[in-house]
């Protein structure tokens, strides 16, 4: 779904000719270096990384080559990442409601167990709305600040 959303957004923006998707296996992360260097030579302005591992390796590669985010490349990914704090950089990310994922999954499991002797449970679809954090500089909420003082 992440790939579909990326394609749809690029198409809505009239940028469908600029869509480039690289499927990188986690045991072949060295390819990111080649992908990013090639992208820089083509004038690419931004990267969207589909996983935290890819975002970490991508950000590290960008900085290792002397480039910066967001000065040289804008960057988007899913969920915050400790790497953003280490590099003190601004990365836009989709904050997924992870706790709600767990709560909803557990509720569905409990209902399925309770109905194990009854009729087959209907397929349930739950849509949880993520939040987009633009240029997510390292966050410290007021609550966390008060508790740590």
Sign (positive/negative) of CA torsion 135, 139, 141, 142? negative
Predicted confidence at residue 41, as pLDDT, reads 92
Predicted confidence at residue 143, as pLDDT, reads 33
pTM over 0.75: no
46: which residues sit within 8 A by CB, 6+ positions away?
73, 74, 75, 76
Predicted confidence at residue 37, as pLDDT, reads 92
CA atoms of 66 and 88, how far apart (whole Å):
15
- Please, is 133 exposed, middle or buried when counting C-beta atoms within 10 Å of its C-beta (0-12, 13-18, 19+)? middle
CA atoms of 87 and 76, how far apart (whole Å):
15
Going across the sheet that includes 131-133, the strands are 46-48, 74-78, 92-95, 131-133
The two tokens of residue 136 are 């997510």
Predicted confidence at residue 40, as pLDDT, reads 92
10: which residues sit within 8 A by CB, 6+ positions away?
16, 18, 19
Q: Do 3 and 21 meet the contact criterion of CB atoms below 8 Å apart? A: yes
Beta partners for residue 75, in sequence order: 47
* Per-run averaged pLDDT (10 residues), the chain, 149 residues: 83 86 74 89 88 88 91 87 79 85 88 73 76 61 32
Predicted confidence at residue 83, as pLDDT, reads 79
CA atoms of 33 and 67, how far apart (whole Å):
12
């Amino acid at each position: 779904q992440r790939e579909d959303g990326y394609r749809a957004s690029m198409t809505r923006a009239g940028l469908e000719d600029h869509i480039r998707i690289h499927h990188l296996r986690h045991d072949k992360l060295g390819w990111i270096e080649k992908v990013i260097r090639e992208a820089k030579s083509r004038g690419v302005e931004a990267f969207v990384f589909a996983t935290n591992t890819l975002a970490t390796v991508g950000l590290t590669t960008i900085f290792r080559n002397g480039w910066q985010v967001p000065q040289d490349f804008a960057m988007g990914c899913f969920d915050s990442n400790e790497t953003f704090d280490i590099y003190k950089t601004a990365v836009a990310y989709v904050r997924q409601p992870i706790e709600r994922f767990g709560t909803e999954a557990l509720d569905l499991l409990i209902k399925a167990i309770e109905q194990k002797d009854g009729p087959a449970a209907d397929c349930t679809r739950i849509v949880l709305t993520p939040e987009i954090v633009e240029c997510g500089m390292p966050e410290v909420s007021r609550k966390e600040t008060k508790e740590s003082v």
